[in-house]
C-alpha cells in the first residue's frame, strides 16, 4: 500500500494545483442560495485542457509513477535477462597506479 502513496500524492497535488478558483481567480457566483456550487474544475476538463503551469510537473510525475510502479518488476526482469554488464567480463584494466597512500606523497 505504501508503494502507491506517491502516485496518490501526485494525483491529488495535480488536482489541487490546477484549481481555477485558487490560482487563476476565476469565481462562479451563485444566483440563489440553493444553486449548486460550480468551480470549473472537473477531471474531464483538466485532462482536456492540459497546460504547462504550476501543476504540470505533478501530472508528469503521476504518469511516470503510474507506469513504473506496476511494471517496475517486469522492467527489472527484462534488464536482468539482458545483463548489460555481462559483456564486459573479459575486459581487464591495469593502469599500474600505486595505492592511495603512495599517490598522496608530494
pLDDT in tens, 2-54: 889 999 999 999 888 888 777 777 777 888 888 887 777 777 766 777 788 88
| Residue 101 is assigned to a structural domain of this protein | no
Is residue 10 classed exposed, middle or buried when 0-12, 13-18 and 19+ CB atoms within 10 A define those classes?
Answer: buried
| Residue 10 is assigned to a structural domain of this protein | yes
Give the pLDDT of residue 19.
80
pLDDT in tens, 59-92: 999 999 999 998 988 888 888 788 776 665 666 7
| Residue 95 is assigned to a structural domain of this protein | no
For the chain, how far is it from start to end, CA to CA, in angstroms? Answer: 56
Instruction: State how far the Cα of 55 lies from the Cα of 19, in Å rounded to an integer.
Output: 9
The pTM is what? Answer: 0.59
Instruction: State how far the Cα of 100 lies from the Cα of 105, in Å rounded to an integer.
Output: 9
For residue 58, pLDDT beyond 70 = yes
Q: What is the DSSP letter of 98?
A: -
What range does the domain containing 66 cover? 2-79
Amino acid at each position: 500500500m505504501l508503494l502507491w502513496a506517491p502516485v496518490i500524492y501526485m494525483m491529488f497535488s495535480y488536482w489541487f494545483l490546477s484549481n481555477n478558483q485558487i490560482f487563476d481567480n476565476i469565481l462562479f457566483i451563485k444566483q440563489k442560495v440553493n444553486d449548486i456550487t460550480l468551480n470549473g474544475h472537473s477531471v474531464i476538463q483538466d485532462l482536456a485542457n492540459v497546460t504547462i503551469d504550476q501543476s504540470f510537473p505533478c501530472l508528469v510525475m503521476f504518469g511516470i509513477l503510474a507506469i513504473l510502479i506496476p511494471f517496475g518488476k517486469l522492467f527489472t526482469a527484462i534488464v536482468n535477462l539482458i545483463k548489460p554488464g555481462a559483456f564486459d567480463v573479459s575486459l581487464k584494466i591495469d593502469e599500474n597506479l600505486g595505492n592511495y597512500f603512495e599517490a598522496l606523497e608530494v
